[in-house]
Amino acid sequence: MPSANEDCAPLTEYEGSCQGQHGAEEGRMIREVLSRVGDKWSLLVVATLRGGRLRFSELQGHIPGISQRMLTLTLRHLERDGLLSRTVHAEVPPRVEYELTDLGRTLMELSIGLGMWAVENRERIETARAAYDSAHSQV
């Protein structure tokens, strides 16, 4: 059956093939989720928090290359979407801890899955990339 898309799983079917109504909406929603989570740091933060709560500086230490600004922004976005909780301890010096919510943990599972996929298939991708490049760099 090399023809296509007849099973109508209610996910990324874009108008036409099946009921043909909600498709576009779901596509937009998926893009929204990817915008939230598909940025440069979100999944990394979520994955880093999989072991439990961490404070700001610990997160920064565990994610090499992230700037203070981007860590702050990423954490705020994830908090806004209910993916992690932010706890400020009334101390001096201040201590702030971040922890995944239940919702965040479900996403974390997926991000771990993506990460494992990346680890497992890095070589295949690099090989394919090299093959493609050499095939297309014809003089």
Shortest CB 101 distance to DNA, Å = 16
Which of these, 110, 124, 120, lies nearest to 30 by C-alpha position? Answer: 110
Q: Which of residues 51-90 bind a copy of itself (CB under 8 A)?
A: 51-54, 58, 61-65, 79-83
Q: Name 49's Cβ contacts closer than 8 Å, sequence gap at least 6.
A: 59, 84, 98, 99, 100, 104, 108
Shortest CB 98 distance to DNA, Å = 7
Whichever of 11 and 92 has its CB closer to a copy of itself, that residue is 11
Whichever of 10 and 82 has its CB closer to DNA, that residue is 82
Q: Which of residues 58-97 bind DNA (CB under 7 A)?
A: 58, 65-70, 72-73, 75-76, 86, 93-96
Q: How far is residue 36's CA from residue 103's CA, in Å, rounded to a whole number? A: 14
The sign one gets for the Cα dihedral 21, 27, 32, 33 is positive
DSSP letter at 98 equals: E
The entry of DNA, a copy of itself, none that residue 78 binds, CB within 5 to 8 Å by partner kind: none
Shortest CB 89 distance to a copy of itself, Å = 13
Which strands form 95-100's sheet, in the order they lie side by side?
54-55, 95-100, 84-89
Shortest CB 97 distance to a copy of itself, Å = 9
Plot region of 20 (φ>0 → left; ψ -120 to 50 → alpha; else → beta):
left
Binding site for DNA (CB under 7 A): 39-41, 55-58, 65-70, 72-73, 75-76, 86, 93-96
